[in-house]
Structure 1
């Protein structure tokens, strides 16, 4: 069963279109490169060919055998030389009983399906890993813009402070305090830039190539709505992770049926011609042979396959329960993150922006001190950073849900969350 991996809501489901530069990478491009060059996926065509060869091998029936025997030669008396020779030429064929060929083919087909299931899990994991690296890079890019906005505000405060200092209303210690804060912010921006560079290489490692892009395109501010939990649980039952257990159980059943078939003895039929030189006579000969199965030759294998079936059934049920609980946990986390972002957007961020605006105005008028202004700036910067972190966690949690279900889960309706300061100005 082949499943389609969702391009996460961060880019595609949100309908976000960005006219990117040639050096900007989109998520579909990243996923396409992963499908083409990820080392985990390169082995599948060869594994598929081996599985097809196994099916061909399983369908082969035993070949007939030609038997030639020469008796009563090079003896003494009447058997001197070849005078009394008896030549028998016969053709024999093994007849498989118990539908052995059909059971072999059935097992090979189930094992081939298991290879496809394994590939599908590897494919989903590879795409999810690439998307996760992509989201982390996108988060760092947003943090880079956040750091630049923060520096811009601090530079504006420094300019205002220098004007007050020239007027004699500010001492040099306050100027130094602002410069120290600005230096720390510039160091933080440099660290973010370095993290972006490292993350570019981590993302490009998904397709075993050096990065040929400067940035990735996307929008973290749009939060897709998620289907009800009951619908997600239904999608989970169709996921590759659980379907693979079904295939494993079918493989064990096929192995048990093949073992039962192999426990039945085969029959060998033969027919031929016998020539007697001594009497100058020819005669037809017929033969039938089969082993005597006084005990079950496959008793141990049968018990092993039965135990394997029981174990797989237990594993299937345990995995179903564990994954169901995990889906519920991730769904609740998404709801909590959405509520948190709503509070930050409607309450915390506007309040922090107002505090900073009033503090800057009061500082310019000499009504509040520098420490209060810097504290207000930190409150605003922290609120904006909390939004970016929460948005990133939301999309990563959504990605984990998609990895679990193997299905697109976001609805068409979206909830935008505006966070950048310049969007509120």
Structure 2
């Protein structure tokens, strides 16, 4: 793809440097291949088959433009008269042969109008390419976020296993002292196994998401990799009115502006047909019987061209008017989409902040107190289990809120074609 497209999306859709950063965020330390959002987008731009189809579409349009700027061709013709007849016209003695050149002189600036139409088509293609590139890379970014979220869920599952193992040891010690029943030991063991099963399930889910993500850059080798990024960096907040103003300048709406220019060019081209073209012919005629030669010339021009072309002009005008209404309808749909994404992003960020600042710290403290009380025999088995499950559920909700906030952020950036990410490197993580 051309560099302007790369720059456009790296600016617009990179949930970017704020959370797909150079390490130090919520990542796993292992020898696996590490991929940031920037590297994933770059690999997609360079290797995605769907994006490379644009090159061939552009070549097609450029070839059609070269054809449209050609002048009418010159034709060579031969006319034979008075041959293979009867009576005095038998044989070739009375034959007359005319060799002529003919062509058309275009009137009404048709050639320039054709070029204007093709230039408008190329311009519309440019914005369509940008809009479709944003769509594809937006989908890649969403897949990246979903996979990054699964990595966080897998980390949380490891934490759940450690809690289950620790709790199992506590219950066994109490059972050895006669302070807990064998049933509690078995339930604690079952909880540990369930935590391990959940980890296996998440590992398979992560593998499926990695395969789906690698598809965008044509990789079917199933290489083991991990994603590097901070799921909890949301960038800056902009007002909805500011975002919607950006939408009005986005490629998805520029497509309609370029299509309007295309329709206007098509109207001008249709109107040029009101002025008929001038056809001419110039040749040499030879009579076989007398061996004489003479020059021939002729011309022709269609009559009533304007009245016959009226319906074509009206059709082009109708198509032009429809573009304006389709643009208005599309703008209204974008208004709704951006507002929904804006509202949900704000909602999920609020939930995330409440969980991280007011809920999880309290539940972590409550779990520690509950464990101590259980070991002393002051609380029941169910109290410890409830405290543990509440903490894990809150941390899972934290991951879901962060993931949903970022996905809605990508939708906003995709629709506005501008980044709202904070380009500072946030390293705040949650354990």
Q: TM-score scaled to structure 2, two decimals?
A: 0.88
Taking structure 1 as reference, are residues 113 and 167 closer, same or farther at Cα in structure 2, changes over 3 Å only? same
In structure 1, stretches of 5+ residues that fail to align are 421-425
| Displacement of 1:32 | 2.3
Partner residue of 2:146?
136
Once the 2 structures are TM-superposed, how far is the Cα of residue 412 of structure 1 from its aligned partner?
A: 3.7
User: Greater shift after overlay, 374-383 or 21-30?
Assistant: 21-30
2:190 maps to 180
Q: Per the alignment, in what secondary structure is the counterpart of residue 251 of structure 1?
A: helix
Provide, for residues 19-46 of structure 1, a one-character-per-residue CA deviation record: whole Å limited to 9, x for no partner.
7745222222222222233232232221
1:240-283 Cα distance to aligned partner (Å, 9 max, x none): 11111112222222222222212321112344555678888766
| Cα offset, 1:370, TM superposition | 1.4
TM-superposed CA distance for 1:114, in Å, is 2.7
Distance 2:245 2:10 in 1: 17
Structure 1 CA distance for aligned equivalents of residues 186 and 205 of structure 2: 28
Cα distance, 1:199 vs. partner? 1.1
Q: 1:196 aligns with which of 195, 206, 213?
A: 206
1:30 is matched with 40
Does residue 17 of structure 1 match 2:18?
no
- Greater shift in the superposed pair: 174-183 or 290-299: 290-299
Cα distance, 1:416 vs. partner? 6.8
Q: Which residue of 2 aligns with 1:254?
A: 265
Say whether 1:122 aligns with 2:132.
yes
**1:37-48 alignment to 2 at 5 Å?**
37-48=47-58
2:413 aligned with 1:409, yes or no? no
In structure 2, relative to structure 1, the CA distance for the partners of 1:270 and 1:161 (3 Å cut) is same
Greater CA drift, 325-334 or 287-296: 287-296
Q: 1:182 and 1:42 mapped to 2: Cα distance?
A: 49
Please give the alpha-carbon distance, in whole angstroms, between the structure 1 residues aligned to 2:235 and 2:154: 24
Question: What's 1:372 paired with?
Answer: 383
Query: Distance in 1 between the 2:423 and 2:166 partners?
Result: 41
Relative to structure 1, the CA distance from residue 272 to residue 360 in structure 2 (aligned partners, 3 Å threshold; closer, same or farther) is same
1:265 is the counterpart of 2:270: no
Q: 1:147 touches 1:185 (CA, 8 Å); kept in 2?
A: yes
Question: What is the aligned partner in structure 2 of residue 423 from structure 1?
Answer: none
1:213 to partner: Cα distance? 2.8
Equivalent position to 1:61, from 71, 83, 89? 71
Change over 3 Å in CA distance of 1:172–1:307 after alignment to 2:
same
Find the residue that maps to 1:287 and give its secondary structure: strand
The match for 2:359 among 332, 339, 348 is: 348
Alpha-carbon shift at residue 68 of structure 1 (Å): 4.7
1:386 maps to 2:397: yes
1:237 paired residue among 245, 248, 255:
248
CA shift in 2, pair 1:267/1:182, >3 Å: same
- Partner-residue secondary structure (3-state), 2:104: strand
TM-score (norm 1): 0.89
Please give the per-residue CA displacement for 1:263-306, whole angstroms capped at 9, x wherever unaligned: 32111234455567888876655433211126622233222222
Which has the higher mean CA deviation after the structures are superposed, 278-287 or 247-256?
A: 278-287
Report the more deviating stretch, 385-394 or 112-121.
112-121
Supply the distance in 1 between the matched residues of 2:377 and 2:86 (Cα, whole angstroms): 136
- Residue of structure 2 in register with 1:4 after alignment: 8
Among 192, 216, 223, the alignment partner of 1:206 is 216
Number of residue pairs matched by the alignment = 420
The answer on whether the counterparts of 1:38 and 1:206 sit within 8 Å (CA) in structure 2 is yes
Q: Quick one: distance in 2 between partners of 1:10 and 1:82? A: 84
Instruction: Tell me how far apart the structure 1 counterparts of residues 269 and 300 of structure 2 sit (CA, whole Å).
Output: 22
Give, in angstroms, the shift of residue 214 of structure 1.
Answer: 2.8
* CA distance in 1 between partners of 2:43 and 2:305 (Å): 61
Q: Deviations along 1:289-324, whole A, 9 cap, x unmatched?
A: 211126622233222222211221111001112102
Bigger CA drift: 88-97 or 258-267?
88-97
Distance 1:54 1:237 in 2: 31
Structure 2: unaligned runs, 5 residues or longer: none
Q: Structure 1 pair 17/265, CA: closer, same or farther in 2 (3 Å)?
A: same
Do 1:37 and 1:207's aligned partners in 2 also have CA atoms closer than 8 Å?
Answer: yes
**Change in 2 beyond 3 A, CA 1:273/1:353:** same
Name whichever of 207-216 and 169-178 sits farther off: 207-216
Contact between 2:21 and 2:228, CA under 8 Å: does it hold in 1? no
